[in-house]
């Protein structure tokens, strides 16, 4: 299927702007650019939005708790933002957190994990796991039902959701009921897939930028650790059911599909869907690029199904 016409127009506009590539920007400039590209959406009203800090093994972790209207307790989804572990924060994940909160009818806990290169692997993974453990142990504080706990994220956030699910299994931690992995990063070793070759340039996320993200996040020796590259785990059984969503025009397409296949081969329950005509980032485009709304609808339906089993 050809690229969506809305995406073609967007990419043409970006090309005309002739901005420097992400890989040539200072880190703080890249972070500022991402905030502009992923604005907050206070117009998507939810019951309450509360910022707070919790304690993790490495100090305080900022979180933002989105709660739907109603008495609760509600199911709860941990939301880990994208941005290659280098850019992104609570502001850039605001729109999708609000939408999931409303559409699923669940508490969403967005996590402001520490970023690379100031804090390299495993800082982000540890913060996300600690926030998940805190939410499970303190569910009553956020009006949540700890028996209905899911992990979710897009791109690097999808990586972290998959990693937290593995950590929870390995550490006999919170009983996670579902993983929503949206165009997740799963492999820091292999950059020669068909999707990397076909979509190396021209579709927002580039092959060069993925190398840049990985170089900032993890040393080469660390990338075989399954808590960095979840597909490298030698044991992929006994993990929560998963939905893995990928885009046709995305370097990460194949590694997401491969992770779904690996989960199934290990005896797990995993579904994958490749959205034709889409590019990386579609999960936050549910309003700005209307055809992508189907992916948000699919994700929310999958969460609702998991919470109501």
Q: Quick count: other Cβ atoms within 10 Å of Cβ 47?
A: 15
Positive/negative CA dihedral, 297, 64, 279, 3: positive
Give residue-wise pLDDT tens across range 290-300: 999 999 999 99
Give residue-wise pLDDT tens across range 49-102: 999 999 999 999 999 999 999 999 999 999 999 999 999 999 999 999 999 999
Cis peptide before 117 (omega within 30 of 0): yes
Give residue-wise pLDDT tens across range 258-279: 999 999 999 999 999 999 999 9
Helix (H, G, I), strand (E, B) or coil at 43: coil
Alpha-carbon distance 81 to 93, whole Å? Answer: 6
Q: Is 17's pLDDT higher than 90? A: no
Alpha-carbon distance 251 to 249, whole Å? Answer: 7
pLDDT value, residue 207: 97
pLDDT value, residue 18: 80
Report the percent of the chain where pLDDT is more than 90: 96
Catalytic residue annotation: 155, 250, 280
Hey, which residues does 279 pair with through a beta bridge?
Answer: 249
Cβ-contact 94, 40 below 8 angstroms: yes
Q: Is 114's pLDDT higher than 90? A: yes
Q: At what angle do helices 156-170 and 123-137 cross, to 10 degrees?
A: 60
pTM score, whole prediction = 0.98
Cβ-contact 106, 74 below 8 angstroms: yes
């Amino acid at each position: 299927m050809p690229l969506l016409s809305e995406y073609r127009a967007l990419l043409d506009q970006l090309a005309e702007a002739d901005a420097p590539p992400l890989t040539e920007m200072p880190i703080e400039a890249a972070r500022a650019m991402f905030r502009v590209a992923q604005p907050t959406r206070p117009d998507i009203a939810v019951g309450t939005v509360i910022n707070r800090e919790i304690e993790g093994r490495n100090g305080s972790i900022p979180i933002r708790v989105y709660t739907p209207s109603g008495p609760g307790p509600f199911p709860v989804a941990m939301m880990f933002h994208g941005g290659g572990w280098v850019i992104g924060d609570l502001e850039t994940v605001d729109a999708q957190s609000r939408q999931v909160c409303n559409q699923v009818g669940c508490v969403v806990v967005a996590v402001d994990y520490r970023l690379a290169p100031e804090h390299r692997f495993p800082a982000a993974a540890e913060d996300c796991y600690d926030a998940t453990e805190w939410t499970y142990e303190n569910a009553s504080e956020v009006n949540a039902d700890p028996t209905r706990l899911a992990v979710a994220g897009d791109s690097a956030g999808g990586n972290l959701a998959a990693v937290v699910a593995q950590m929870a299994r390995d550490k006999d931690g919170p009983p996670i009921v579902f993983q929503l992995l949206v165009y997740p990063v799963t492999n820091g070793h292999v950059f020669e897939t068909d999707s990397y070759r076909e979509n190396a340039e021209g579709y927002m996320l580039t092959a060069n930028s993925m190398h840049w993200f990985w170089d900032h996040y993890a040393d080469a020796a660390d990338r075989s650790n399954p808590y960095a590259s979840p597909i490298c785990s030698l044991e992929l059984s006994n993990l929560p059911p998963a939905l893995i969503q990928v885009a046709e025009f995305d370097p990460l397409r194949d590694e997401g599909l491969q992770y779904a296949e690996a989960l199934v081969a290990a005896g797990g329950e995993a579904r994958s869907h490749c959205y034709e005509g889409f590019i990386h980032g579609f999960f936050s485009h549910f309003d700005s690029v209307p055809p992508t709304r189907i992916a948000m609808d699919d994700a929310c339906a999958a969460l609702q199904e998991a919470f109501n089993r």
